[in-house]
Amino acid sequence: MKLKALVAGIGLAFASSMVHAEEQKPNIIYIIGDGMGFEFITAYRYAMSDLDSKTIAKTEFDAMLKGAATTYPDDDTWVTDSAAGATALATGVKSYNGAIGVDADKYPLQTMMELARESGWSTGSVSTSQVNHATPASFFTHHPSRYEYNQIADKIATQVVEGEASFDVMLGGGQSYFDRDDKNWLDILPEHGMQIVTDMEQLESVDTAPVMGLFAEKGLPYAIDGDVDALANMTRTALRLLDKKQQPFALMIEGSEIDWCGHANDIACAVHEMDGLNRALQVVREYRENNPNTLIVMTADHSTGGLTIGRDGEYAWYSDRVMQIESSIAHMSEEMLSMDSDNWPEYVADKVNFELTQDYIDELAVAAEEEGEAREDSLHQALVYITADITGTGWTTSGHTGVDVPVFAAGPYSENFGGYMDNTDIGKALIEIVR
């Protein structure tokens, strides 16, 4: 009986595979929340909810949750960086921390985007980081070190010049890496058919690909300080342009700065970045409603900061106080360093909408006694302490953590992304689709 059941199960799986094989290849929208562990989703959900009525907010993530994934690199640690994580997600192969689309021996690995191009697909990338940052770069080029930003930008641009671009649409930040004293790619690339856009408001007037949009010197402003809809607007444009080509496409979307807020231990910043990602996902889900032959897969490369919802033994987390904070710690720090330190307490109280205790004022006073980089570092730590203590937020590190991350999927082939996976399994499953 067990043997018959096993044979029947194999037959059903084979039949399902054959059905997919006979269908037109689906579009793939691959979303990465950089640094987005489960705890960031929890924080976002509670921040959007009403504690008094216990009305828990619905998010765009909810219906798509399928499972979880491990994230460890091919290195002497269990904790990955974004480059190794993205390389695994893009190629299905683990590599060392710092690797951009190369294996442990620094040989190039074919990415799903490159394979998609070979198979006649259109491809694109949207990120709030610079386009040559670890995650987007790992999908579209190869380099032994993530930190050599100019060289990575050169490789992306050289693809265009040589007529071998691995993308049709690439939107994000990074102007300073493509417009340098030694090389001005912004002048060169249009000569080879690549439209360059540097103003977000120009996106609606772009009618066709290929296009590269570079909307900041490096990363885009944090959502809390700038435009929370920036990622959604770029996503909408990318989908519009790729859809026009009337062939299957693969689009990678990264909520890059969830990670940056985690590194900064900035809870308000992180929650607003999650809101930006949620808005982009809403655009994606609306697209899939009108184009059902579209697979959405979303995950994270790792989690960042060791975020805890509650701290110091107190059973409380004050989501209303999180949402009262008006600026990122980075923005507050930048403004405070340009003013008289006597004004710091009043400024911070105004930005966090909370009356500062003497303890908080003393923390700022300690920072005010420092000079140079020590002053910057001390002020940052004071602001982390104040915002975390006010909100009941805990942080264990300014780096990454090795916890499992969520996996979401919807659409054709979404059944391949359920249960407990490794990050390479996600990459391998997508590669099989585009092959």
Per-residue pLDDT at 269:
99
**Residue 25 main-chain phi, psi, to 5 deg:** -60, 140
- Say if CB 379 and CB 367 are below 8 A apart: yes
Please state, in angstroms and rounded to a whole number, the distance separating the CA atoms of residues 297 and 180. 36
Q: In this structure, what token pair is assigned to residue 43?
A: 């924080």
Q: Is 333 among the catalytic positions?
A: no
pLDDT, block means (10 residues), the chain with 435 residues: 39 44 85 98 96 88 96 98 99 98 98 97 99 98 98 98 97 98 97 97 95 98 97 98 96 99 99 98 98 98 99 96 98 98 98 98 97 97 99 98 98 97 98 96
Which CATH architecture is the domain 310-394 placed in?
A: Orthogonal Bundle (1.10)
Please state, in angstroms and rounded to a whole number, the distance separating the CA atoms of residues 250 and 364. 48
Query: Element (H or E) spanning 6, and its range?
Result: helix 2-22
- From the number of C-beta atoms within 10 Å of its C-beta (0-12, 13-18, 19+), residue 228 rates as middle
Convert the pLDDT of each residue in 91-123 to its tens digit. 999 999 999 999 999 999 999 999 999 999 999
Nearest Cα residue to 325 out of 381, 387, 394: 387
- For the beta carbon of residue 431, count every other beta carbon within 10 angstroms: 18
CATH class of 24-307+405-434: alpha beta
Per-residue pLDDT at 20:
52
Q: What is the pTM of this model?
A: 0.93
Q: Name every residue whose Cβ is closer than 8 Å to that of residue 416 and which is 6 or more positions away in sequence.
A: 409, 429
Q: Which residue has the tokens 């496409």?
A: 249
Tell me which of 17, 53, 82, 333 is the catalytic residue: 82
Per-residue pLDDT at 52:
85
Q: In this structure, what token pair is assigned to residue 232?
A: 């959604």
- Render the burial of 110-144: b for 16+ CB within 10 Å, e for the rest: ebbbbbbbeeebbbbbbbbbbbbbbbbbbbbbbbb
Per-residue pLDDT at 54:
82
- Domain locations in the chain? 24-307+405-434, 310-394
∠ CA 127-225-63, rounded to 5°: 55
Amino acid at 352: V
Please state, in angstroms and rounded to a whole number, the distance separating the CA atoms of residues 33 and 37. 8
Per-residue pLDDT at 22:
52
